[in-house]
Amino acid sequence: MVLAAQPLTASASTAVSAATVAAGLHELQSRWANIQYQTPEARRADAFEQLYQRAQALLEAQPKSAELHTWAGIIRGSQAGAEGGLSALSQVKEARAEFEQALSIDPTTLSGSAYTSLGTLYHQVPGWPISFGDDDKARQLLRKGLSLNPDGIDSNYFWADFLHDQGDDAKARQAIEKAMAAAPRPGRETADAGRRQDIQALLNEI
């Protein structure tokens, strides 16, 4: 007996979509950590470009995924940091657009990662007239990210980095200590290990 194929119900379709996003997200996170922390510096920019194209392919299938937009922004921003020069200026604008798109879809996505990443971008890029860097905007965004993930390793690390650059080392040290005490993230062991190296390097400067 041949049974007619039944269309997916709304709930089943949503479940499939969520599973697709989760798989794509895991791929992007794992490959990003490998490039950022285990790939020679000279090869990172090209590797990030390839990964960004993969993120865009995933977004073509799931254009309303705030998680994928956030990670597309993280990847593009990381590429800008690895590449430097004039090309980085256009890349950071693309990264900003990805974060803003993520926030327009779901401001709480990934426990505030879009806020933290966008705040870091505003902190790290040059200000006007070269680019859009703005420490007041960075402070606002980083605080928002921290409010959504007060015990996170990344939210506290980037807040500490900002405070250190602002000359507030006492509060920076408090944030660093919270970052060091953050719980491990399942499946993100490489990223956690690399971030703890970043934390130690920042602590040595304070």
CB under 8 Å to 112, separation ≥6 — which residues?
144, 145, 146, 147, 148, 149, 152, 155
Q: Which of 139, 164, 59 is nearest to 101 (CA)?
A: 59
Q: In the block, which residue shows the tokens 């509060």? A: 171
Model pLDDT, residue 17: 76
Q: Domain residue spans in the chain?
A: 150-206
d(CA 133, CA 33): 25
Global pTM reads 0.89
Q: Give the pair of three-digit tokens for residue 163.
A: 């405070």
Model pLDDT, residue 15: 60
Q: In the block, which residue shows the tokens 């977004």? A: 59
**Which residues in the chain come in under a pLDDT of 50?**
1-3, 5-6, 8, 10
Model pLDDT, residue 18: 82
Model pLDDT, residue 1: 46
DSSP 154: H
Model pLDDT, residue 2: 46
The pLDDT tens digits for 140-162 are 999 999 999 999 999 999 999 99
Residue 137, amino acid: K
d(CA 117, CA 74): 7
3-state SS assignment for residue 92: helix
Q: Which of 120, 151, 153, 152 is nearest to 137 (CA)?
A: 120
Model pLDDT, residue 201: 97
d(CA 131, CA 126): 5
Contact 179, 153 (CB under 8 A): yes
Q: Which of 99, 18, 27 is nearest to 62 (CA)?
A: 18
Model pLDDT, residue 16: 59
Model pLDDT, residue 14: 62
Per-residue three-class SS string for 23-86: HHHHHHHHHHHHHHHHCCHHHHHHHHHHHHHHHHHHHHHCCCCHHHHHHHHHHHHHHHHHHCHH
Q: Which of 159, 158, 180, 182 is nearest to 171 (CA)?
A: 159
